[in-house]
Amino acid sequence: MGKNILIIGASGDIGSAIAELLGKEGYQLILHYNKNRNRINQVRETLDQESILSEIQADLSDDAQVKKLLTELVFPIDGIVFASGNAYQGLFHETSEEKMDEMLSIHVKSPWMITKYLLPSMVKKKSGKIIMITSIWGDVGASNEVIYSTVKGAQNSFVKALSKEIGPSGISVNGISPGFIDTKMNRHLSEEDRNRIVSEIPMNRVGTPSDIAHVVQFLLGEQSSYVHGDIIRVNGGW
């Protein structure tokens, strides 16, 4: 049987694309979602039933629900893909403390908690893969998205630091930094704004969730065994 992969945020556009690709490639999946149960059902319909070991619902902004998620991880985990995330747009000085706490919990603290829980078994086996889907804004920052840029930058730092700590244990840690991807996170943009962004991208197109999924597939495979502590930028040269 294939290796067991936990996908955090499997109901999102990128997360579901990752789940569908990995499931068809023989991996066995544990799928996390928060609200979009319908998308999980759609993923299940595209895959053989034995590809999905379990489905776990949890709101990652709630510490108690994250801890409940951990108790439901009854299968051994060979790899973790963190694909969850919420965008937030607004002026920084108008951002509420509640929103700050929510964004930190979803993007930083919950990955900390999940990774901390699963690391001991990976260290014992001396194998494991941890992949974080970050963002171009974690590299360069974005006006009106200061909070989102900050937490995505923290994810990049987490990848770089953790890779140094656990690399000697045979566990690889990498990040993928998407550029402008065709997901619901960007569908609020007007056609004019969308065209303007595309005109700035050397490849002259919007990225797709499958563009990200194929990089995840590479990082989970043996071909990437010497790729470690890296943030792979998938942005069409933007």
- Among residues 209, 224, 233, 235, the alpha carbon closest in space to that of 130 is found at 224
The catalytic position among 33, 117, 148, 226 is 148
Q: Which two tokens stand for residue 190?
A: 């007007």
**Dist CA 109 CA 77 (whole Å):** 20
Which DSSP category does 131 fall into? E
130 Cα distance to chain centroid: 10
Contacts of 120 (CB under 8 A, 6+ apart): none
148 is catalytic: yes
- Among residues 69, 87, 80, 105, the alpha carbon closest in space to that of 175 is found at 80
- Among residues 75, 84, 167, the alpha carbon closest in space to that of 129 is found at 167
- Catalytic residues, by residue number, are 148
